[in-house]
């Protein structure tokens, strides 16, 4: 008999208030200057697109997207440190881009720390381009750190209807 060595299937669902404790734990483990529970709560209350990636009922990643005036902004994208390097970040990013397209956004923006070279490589490979910097944007261990501002044009046709995989 051959054992099934495949990783259990992960899936997306909308973030819920009861997820915020688990999300806060991931955020604390992933970043030296994490978002607070209250920031996530406020994003949910504001109606932002807040989604989690879970496997076996455990949250392993999440993303937060705001959309207004034809533009989308990825506010947070995170994968639990123990789950990084397995393509989950790319899946969360793809979900955020699909949501932006569904909302008919023409472009997507995000900020990233220059020190987060793994995230920068992911965004570059997905088609984002550096368009500027925000001086002193992030708190850092020795003062403030600039943010790299990246953007991507969403010109792909065929996303006029909700993708069935998004579950709406």
CA-nearest of 93, 91, 77, 74 to 30 is 77
Low-confidence winner among 54-63, 87-96, 128-137, 149-158 (lowest mean pLDDT): 149-158
Can you list the domains of the chain with their CATH numbers?
10-166 (3.40.630.30)
- Residue 158 confidence (pLDDT): 56
> Active-site residue 27, yes or no?
no
pLDDT (tens digit per residue) in 14-72: 999 999 999 999 999 999 899 999 999 999 999 999 999 999 999 999 999 999 999 99
- Residue 91 confidence (pLDDT): 97
- Residue numbers belonging to the annotated binding site for acetyl-CoA: 116
Task: Give pTM, 2 decimals.
Answer: 0.87
SS3 content of the chain, % helix, strand, coil (to 5): 35, 35, 30
Task: Give backbone dihedrals phi and psi of 64, rounded to 5 degrees, phi first.
Answer: -130, 130
- Residue 8 confidence (pLDDT): 73
- Residue 162 confidence (pLDDT): 46
- The answer, yes or no, to whether residue 168 has pLDDT greater than 60, is no
Q: Cα–Cα–Cα angle for 72, 73, 75, nearest 5°?
A: 150
Q: Which of 111, 130, 145, 160 is catalytic?
A: 111
User: What is the rounded average pLDDT of the residues 157-163?
Assistant: 50
Q: Which of 123, 138, 145, 160 is catalytic?
A: 123
- Residue 74 confidence (pLDDT): 99
> Active-site residue 54, yes or no?
no
Task: Give backbone dihedrals phi and psi of 28, rounded to 5 degrees, phi first.
Answer: -65, -35
């Amino acid at each position: 008999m051959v054992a099934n060595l495949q990783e259990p299937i992960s899936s997306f669902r909308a973030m819920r208030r009861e997820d915020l404790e688990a999300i806060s734990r991931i955020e604390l483990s992933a970043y030296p200057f994490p978002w607070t529970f209250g920031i996530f709560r406020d994003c949910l209350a504001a109606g932002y697109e807040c989604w989690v990636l879970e496997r076996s009922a455990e949250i392993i990643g999440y993303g937060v997207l705001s959309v207004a005036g034809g533009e989308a902004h990825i506010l947070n994208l995170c994968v639990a440190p123990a789950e990084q390097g397995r393509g989950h970040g790319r899946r969360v990013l793809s979900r955020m881009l699909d949501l932006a397209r569904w909302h008919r956004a023409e472009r997507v923006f995000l900020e990233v720390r220059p020190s987060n070279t793994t995230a920068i490589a992911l965004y570059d490979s997905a088609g984002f381009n550096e368009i500027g910097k925000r001086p002193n944007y992030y708190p850092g261990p020795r003062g403030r750190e600039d943010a790299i501002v990246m953007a991507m044009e969403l010109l792909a046709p065929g996303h006029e209807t909700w993708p069935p995989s998004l579950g709406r």
